[in-house]
Copies of this chain bind each other. A is one copy, B any other.
Amino acid sequence: MITKTKVNRKQQIIEKATQLFQKQGYAATSMRDLAGYIGIEAASLYSHIKSKEEILQTICFQMANDFFQSLEKIELEKLSADEKLKKAVISHVKVLTKDSAASAVFFSEWRHLSESYLKDFLAMRNNYENKFIQILIDGHKEGIFKKMDAKFTVLALLSSINWMPSWYKPEGKLSPEEIAENVTDVFINGLKIRS
C-alpha cells in the first residue's frame, strides 16, 4: 500500500467535505462527520487544513475561477450574440457538470463565507452576470434579440442552469453539450412552433 502524501489527503478531505456540504449543508456538517468518513480523528483534520471555513473558501473560489476562465475565453472570440450566448452557456454547463457537487456547494453555501470573502465572492458573481448581460444587450443592438430586461433574463437563464446540480445525474442520458443545446434553444427560440 502506497503511503498517502499530505497533498492527496488534503484533496481527499476537500472532496469528501464537498459531498457532505452538498448533502447536509455546510452548517449541518461537523468536522467529526467529515473525519469519520475519511477514517481519522477530527483533530487530525487540522494537520491538513486551517479551519472548516477554509474548505468552503477553497471550493467556492475554485469554482468561481473555473467559471470566469471559461467565459473569458469566449469573450475574445468574434461571434454573433446568439452564437456567443450559446457558447457561453455550453462552457458554463461544462464547468457545472465537471463537478456537480462542488457546483451545488458553490451556489448554495457561499453565504456561510465570512465577511471579507463574501464581499469578494459577490463582486465576482456580479461581474460574471454582467458579462452575460452584455451579450444580450449586444444581441439586441445587432437586431438579433428582441427588446427585454437583460438583467432579468440573464438571472432567469443562469438560475435555470444553476439549479441543475441538484438533479443532474452524470449517468443521465444528456451530455453537457446536449443540456446546453436544450437550454439555449428554449431561451433563444422559445417553445412555440414558428408560424
Contacts and interface: CB of A to CB of B under 8 A. Distances in A.
B25 A111 contact: yes
Interface stretch (A51-59, A113-121, A160-168): A160-168
Given A82-B192, A163-B163, A182 B146 contact: no
A108 interface: yes
A149 B182 contact: yes
A7 interface: no
A158 to B, nearest CB: 8
Interface string A152-173: 1101110111111001000000
Contact of A188 (B159, B174, B190): B190
Main SS at interface, chain A: helix
A44 interface: no
A33 to B, nearest CB: 12
A46 interface: no
A194 interface: yes
Interface in A42-97: 82
A143 B187 contact: no
A34 interface: no
Which range holds the interface residue count of chain A?
A: 35 or more
Nearest to A167: B155
Interface in A134-156: 136, 139, 143-146, 148-149, 152-153, 155-156
Nearest to A145: B191
Nearest to A147: B193
A90 B167 CA distance: 24
Nearest to A172: B152
B160 A156 contact: yes
A194 B143 CA distance: 11
Interface of A: 23-28, 82, 108, 111-112, 136, 139, 143-146, 148-149, 152-153, 155-157, 159-164, 167, 174, 179, 182-183, 186-194
